[in-house]
Amino acid sequence: MRRETEAGDPHAGDPGAEGLGAPDDMAPDERWSAILVAGAPELSARLLAEVFGPLLALAPAERALLVGTLDAWLECGGSVGRAAVRLQCHRNTVFNRLRRLERLTSRSLSHPCELVETVLALEALRWSAGRG
């Protein structure tokens, strides 16, 4: 549960809050994964290279297709059916793209720790694209 201080900052006075390194221009309601990635750029770059290295080696259009599918699947709460509707393709196409992404990254989207690494790598990809 978040506690608001008199100043309205839910993290004011929290031990270690100032150590997050989140950019000043980041809204408090941003995703935590984005804040963590922006706050540790060197680690984020290493994570991006380790998790998405083979994905980054693909042709830009192919990479965008797989990343877009992952993004849609995540935004749809892990529902392949809803992601297929959003992407205007068959659900088997979504399954196939996600399996290909798993093979390329050597990460299973059904294993919680590996899913977290994949989501953080996706945030690192977004962050690096926004910077450059």
Tens-digit pLDDT profile for residues 64-117: 999 999 999 999 999 999 999 999 999 999 999 999 999 999 999 999 999 999
Residue/partner pairs of 112-118 with CB below 8 Å, 24 or more apart? 117/47, 117/51, 118/51, 118/70
**pLDDT for residue 131:** 61
Superfamily of domain 32-131: PucR C-terminal helix-turn-helix domain (1.10.10.2840)
Q: Tokens standing for 87?
A: 């992407």
Contact (Cβ atoms closer than 8 angstroms) between residue 116 and residue 105: no
Rounded distance, CA 111 to CA 132, Å? Answer: 31
Q: Within a 10 A sphere around the Cβ of 55, how many other Cβ atoms?
A: 20
CA terminus-to-terminus distance, the chain = 36
Rounded distance, CA 16 to CA 81, Å? Answer: 41
Contact (Cβ atoms closer than 8 angstroms) between residue 124 and residue 49: no
Rounded distance, CA 36 to CA 59, Å? Answer: 28
- Mean predicted confidence (pLDDT) in 11-23: 42
Question: In the chain, where are the structural domains located?
Answer: 32-131
